[in-house]
Amino acid sequence: MRYFALSLIALALFSGCSTKKKRPKTADAASAALATALKKGDGQAIYDLLDQKSKWSLMSALRAQREIRKLVKKHYPKDRQPRLLARTRGAAKSADATKYFLFVVKRDRLFATLGSADSAAKARARSTDRADFAAGGKLRRFCHADGVWTFCGFRARFEALKVRANRDLTTVRENAETFRKGG
């Protein structure tokens, strides 16, 4: 029985490996994958192309905004809740970081910053860890790490989103404590 259970676990682990998404090994492949995803309107594929730092920033911002919502609902007076809950509605509507990414991209019209999906991307600058492509007059930046190329063009925006969300969370925690004490 014990070996049967171990066999099932091993089978589950190995079968999961075969479904892993193929990651671009060159900057040109990453650029082509982004262009294809833009053309198809495939937000999931674009999220999958994001670099890890961008994804971590998104996850951190999502976590902070969910915490803000929880504290506001629990401790803030009813008349002060609507404005803060409206600012964090993306976190409420998003089941995971991918959905939150799609919300942020739509809200901030970030796909428009990537140029036309029909425009052929031309390499502008390359190094061993970064490549810039121009498409439709817009810059698309890719980064190389751990043997794969990823899209890192939104990294600064998502880092700023994370910083803002965590700063808001600090303020909301302080205010929630004040309201909790009856202040």
Q: How far is it, in rounded angstroms, from Cα 69 to Cα 172?
A: 9
Sign of CA dihedral 165, 171, 174, 177: negative
Q: What is the pLDDT of residue 20?
A: 55
What is the tens place of the pLDDT at every residue in 72-103?
A: 999 999 999 999 999 999 999 999 999 999 99
Which segment of 8-17, 36-45, 171-180 scores lowest on mean pLDDT?
8-17
Instruction: Name the strand (E) or helix (H) holding 9.
Output: helix 2-17
Say what angle helices 52-75 and 155-180 make with each other, to 10 degrees: 20
Q: Model's pTM, two decimal places? A: 0.82
What is the tens place of the pLDDT at every residue in 120-178?
A: 778 888 888 999 998 888 889 999 999 999 999 999 999 999 999 999 999 999 999 99
Residue with tokens 């089941």: 95
CB 162 within 8 A of CB 152: no
Indicate whether 115 pLDDT > 80: no
Closest C-alpha among 25, 46, 51 to residue 35: 46
Residue with tokens 């390499």: 123
Instruction: Output the average pLDDT for the chain.
Output: 87
Q: What is the pLDDT of residue 126?
A: 85
